[in-house]
A = this chain, B = another copy of it.
Amino acid sequence: MNVQQLLNLELPIIQAPMAGVQGSALAVAVSQAGGLGSLPAGMLSPEALRSELATIAAQTSKPFNVNFFCHTPPTSNAARAAAWRAVLAPYYPELGIDVTSIPAGPVRYPFSAAAAEILEDVKPAVVSFHFGLPSPELLARVRACGAKILASATMVAEACWLEAQGVDAIIAQGLEAGGHRGMFLTDDISTQVGTLALVPQIVRSVTIPVIAAGGIADAQGVAAAMALGAIGVQVGTAYMLCPEVTLSPVHRAALTSAAASHTALTNLFSGRPARGIVNRLMCELGPMHPLVPAFPLAGAAVALLRTHAESQGSGDFSPLWAGQNTSGCQELPAAELTRLLAGNV
Residues of A within 8 A of B (CB): 155-156, 174-176, 190-191, 193-198, 200-201, 204, 214-218, 220-221, 223-229, 261-262, 264, 278, 287, 323-325, 327
B215 touches A196 (CB 8 A): yes
Q: How far does the alpha carbon of A204 sit from the alpha carbon of B325 in the complex, in Å?
A: 12
B200 touches A214 (CB 8 A): no
User: Distance in Å from the Cβ of A265 to the closest Cβ of chain B?
Assistant: 8
User: Distance in Å from the Cβ of A116 to the closest Cβ of chain B?
Assistant: 35
B278 touches A190 (CB 8 A): yes
B195 touches A220 (CB 8 A): no
User: Distance in Å from the Cβ of A64 to the closest Cβ of chain B?
Assistant: 26
A261 touches B156 (CB 8 A): yes
B196 touches A176 (CB 8 A): yes
A191 touches B262 (CB 8 A): yes
Please indicate the chain B residues that have their CB under 8 angstroms from the CB of A201 in the complex.
325, 327
Q: How far does the alpha carbon of A327 sit from the alpha carbon of B325 in the complex, in Å?
A: 25
Q: Point out the residue from B193, B200, B215, B223 that lies within 8 Å of A197, measured CB to CB.
A: B215
B190 touches A264 (CB 8 A): yes
Please indicate the chain B residues that have their CB under 8 angstroms from the CB of A323 in the complex.
197
A176 touches B190 (CB 8 A): no
Q: How far does the alpha carbon of A216 sit from the alpha carbon of B195 in the complex, in Å?
A: 11
Q: How far does the alpha carbon of A223 sit from the alpha carbon of B214 in the complex, in Å?
A: 18
B195 touches A194 (CB 8 A): yes
A221 touches B228 (CB 8 A): yes
A197 touches B218 (CB 8 A): no
B200 touches A217 (CB 8 A): yes
Please indicate the chain B residues that have their CB under 8 angstroms from the CB of A217 in the complex.
197, 200
Please indicate the chain B residues that have their CB under 8 angstroms from the CB of A193 in the complex.
176, 215, 324-325
With A261-B156, A262-B190, A264-B190: A197-B324 Cβ-Cβ less than 8 Å = yes
User: Distance in Å from the Cβ of A37 to the closest Cβ of chain B?
Assistant: 23
User: Distance in Å from the Cβ of A162 to the closest Cβ of chain B?
Assistant: 17
A222's nearest neighbour on chain B, judged by CB, is B227
With A221-B228, A227-B227: A176-B200 Cβ-Cβ less than 8 Å = no
User: Distance in Å from the Cβ of A215 to the closest Cβ of chain B?
Assistant: 4
Q: How far does the alpha carbon of A296 sit from the alpha carbon of B125 in the complex, in Å?
A: 56
Please indicate the chain B residues that have their CB under 8 angstroms from the CB of A196 in the complex.
174, 176, 194-196, 214-216, 221, 224-225, 325
